[in-house]
Amino acid sequence: MKLGIFGGTFNPPHKGHVTAVKECIVRLKLDHVLVIPDALPPHKEIAEGSPDGRERLKLTKIAFERVKGCSVSDMEIARGGVSYTVDTLRRLREKYKNDRLFLLMGADMFLCFEQWREFEAILSMATLAVFARRDGEREELYRMAERLRLAYGANVKLVEFDAVEVSSTRIRELLPRRKGVEYFPAGVYSEIVKKRLYGAKPDYGWLRQKAYAMLEPKRVAHVKGCEEEAVRLAERWGADVEKAREAAILHDITKKEKLDEQLRLCAKYGIELDEVERTEGKLLHSKTGAGIAKYEFGCDDEVYGAIFWHTTGKENMALLEKVIYMADYIEPNRDFDGVERLRRLAYTDLDRALEMGFEMSIDDMVSRGIQPHDRTLGALDWISHH
C-alpha cells in the first residue's frame, strides 16, 4: 500500500489543505492518506488565541470528512508534547511494515527540511511529496530535491497543481473581519462561527444565506427590511451596528416552525416557558430563534437578548433590544395605520416610539380577541413611567 502522511498544525484547516491531499492521492496514486494534526509544532509557536489541539482535531476531521481515501488521526494530539515527525514516522513504520510511506509537505517546510529533527532518519523511512504551488518556486524546489538526493539519497516527488494560495496566518487575520469564508469547507466555517474561534465574526452574506434558507420565501423581504431598518436605528441611537445586523438577519429563523418543534427547541436550549407560551407557538419563535443564534451561530448575549425579546418586549429593555423591536415593527415593508408616525417617532424619541409600539400591539391583540402577554403589558407600564 502507498500511504500518504500529512501532518501540520491545521490552525485552521482550509481548502488549501484539502486540495493538496486530493491532488496527492490522484497524482501519486496513493491508497490512503493519514492527516495528523500536531499537538505542539516544533518549528513555530501556535498563534495566540488559537483553539486547543482537540478543537483543531475536530475542525480537521470536518474538513476531510468527505475526502475519499483519507482519514484523520489523533496520534500526535493524544501523545501530547512537541510533535516531531520522526517520532510519528517510526510508529507508523512499525505499524505499516510493508507499505511505502509518502510524507506530504508544503514548499516552505521542504526548503527548511534539513533543520528538522533527525531529518536523515525521515528520509530513510519515507518519500517526500512536496506541493509545488507557484511557478516561481519550482526551480528552487527542483534544485533542493536534487541536492537532497545527491547528499542523502533522498527520494523526492514534486506534486504540481493549482493550489489555493492562502496561508492559515492570513485566514486567521480575515476571520475577525467577517472575511475568508471562501477558503473553508462549509462545515469547518460553520464550526468556527459557532464557537467564534479565532475571534471569528460571520460573513454577512454567509449568515443571510443560512438564515434565508430557514425562512418561508415570503418572509425574506421582511427580514431584509428589518436588517436595513436595524442598521439605520443603530446608527441613529449609538447601538452596535454589527450586532444589530446579526440580530436582524437571524431574528425570525424559527418563525415557520409549529408548536411541537418550538417546544422541542425550547427544551434543547433550556428556555423556560410560562403557561401561555406553552400553548401559543407564535410567542416562541423569538426565544427559539435566540437559542439557535447563540448556540448554532455563536452570537453573544446582547444579540441573544435582542432576538429573544423582539416579540413581547420586556421591562427595562437594553438599547439593542429596543432597536430590534422597533426595526421589526417599522421596517419598510410594514403597512398599517399609524406606521408613518411611528417611523418618524423612532428617529426622534426611541422610548416614546417603543411606548407607542407597545400600545398599538396591545390594541391590535385586544381587537382580535387575544389576551396580550403579561410581559408586553409590563413593558408598556415600565416605559410609560420612565
Write out pLDDT tens, residues 357-366.
999 999 988 9
Answer whether residue 132 shows pLDDT above 90.
Answer: no
Residues 289-305, mean pLDDT to the nearest whole number: 98
Answer whether residue 180 shows pLDDT above 90.
Answer: yes
* pLDDT above 70: percentage of residues in the chain: 99
Structure-model confidence comparison of residues 335 and 163, the more confident one: 335
Tens of pLDDT along 54-86?
Answer: 999 999 999 999 999 999 999 999 999 999 999
At the fourth CATH level, the homologous superfamily of domain 204-384 is Hypothetical protein af1432 (1.10.3210.10)
Structure-model confidence comparison of residues 278 and 345, the more confident one: 345
What DSSP element (H or E) covers 131? strand 127-132
Q: What pLDDT score was predicted for residue 43? A: 78
Tens of pLDDT along 166-178?
Answer: 889 999 999 999 9
Q: What pLDDT score was predicted for residue 281? A: 77
List the grid coordinates of 186.
Answer: 462549509
Q: What pLDDT score was predicted for residue 133? A: 65
Residues 107-118, mean pLDDT to the nearest whole number: 94
**What distance, in Å, lies between the first and last C-alpha atoms of the chain?**
76
* pLDDT above 90: percentage of residues in the chain: 88
Answer whether residue 136 shows pLDDT above 80.
Answer: no
State how far the alpha carbon of 199 is from the alpha carbons of 68, 85, 350, 371, in Å.
Answer: 31, 30, 32, 44
pTM for this prediction? 0.94
Sheet strands side by side (includes 100-105) = 70-72, 32-37, 2-8, 100-105, 127-132, 156-160
Q: Name the DSSP class of 58.
A: H
Tell me how far apart the alpha carbons of residues 212 and 323 are, in angstroms, rounded to a whole number. 21
Q: What pLDDT score was predicted for residue 47? A: 86
Tell me how far apart the alpha carbons of residues 88 and 97 are, in angstroms, rounded to a whole number. 14
Packing angle of the helix pair 319-330, 241-250 (nearest 10 deg): 50
User: Alpha helix locations (H) across the chain?
Assistant: 15-27, 53-64, 75-79, 85-95, 107-111, 119-125, 135-152, 168-174, 186-195, 204-213, 220-237, 241-250, 259-268, 275-279, 285-295, 301-308, 319-330, 339-346, 350-367, 374-384
14-18, 203-207, 305-309, 370-374: least confident range: 370-374
Answer whether residue 134 shows pLDDT above 70.
Answer: no
Tens of pLDDT along 236-277?
Answer: 999 999 999 999 999 999 999 999 999 999 999 999 998 888
What DSSP element (H or E) covers 185? none
What residue spans define the domains of the chain? 2-183, 204-384
Name the maximum alpha-carbon separation found in the chain.
91
Please provide the average confidence, as pLDDT, over all residues in the chain: 95
**Which residues are paired to 227 by β-bridges?**
none
Q: Assess whether the previous peptide bond of 12 is cis (omega < 30° from 0).
A: yes
Residues 279-293, mean pLDDT to the nearest whole number: 92
Q: Which amino acid belongs to residue 379? A: A
Q: What pLDDT score was predicted for residue 135? A: 62
Tell me how far apart the alpha carbons of residues 285 and 251 are, in angstroms, rounded to a whole number. 8
Q: Under 8 Å CB-to-CB from 259, ≥6 apart: which residues?
A: 279, 280, 281, 284
Q: Under 8 Å CB-to-CB from 47, ≥6 apart: which residues?
A: 11, 169, 172
Nearest Cα neighbor of 286 from 319, 321, 336, 335 is: 321
| Count of C-beta atoms within a 10 Å radius of residue 55 | 17
Q: How many residues does the chain have?
A: 386
At the fourth CATH level, the homologous superfamily of domain 2-183 is HUPs (3.40.50.620)
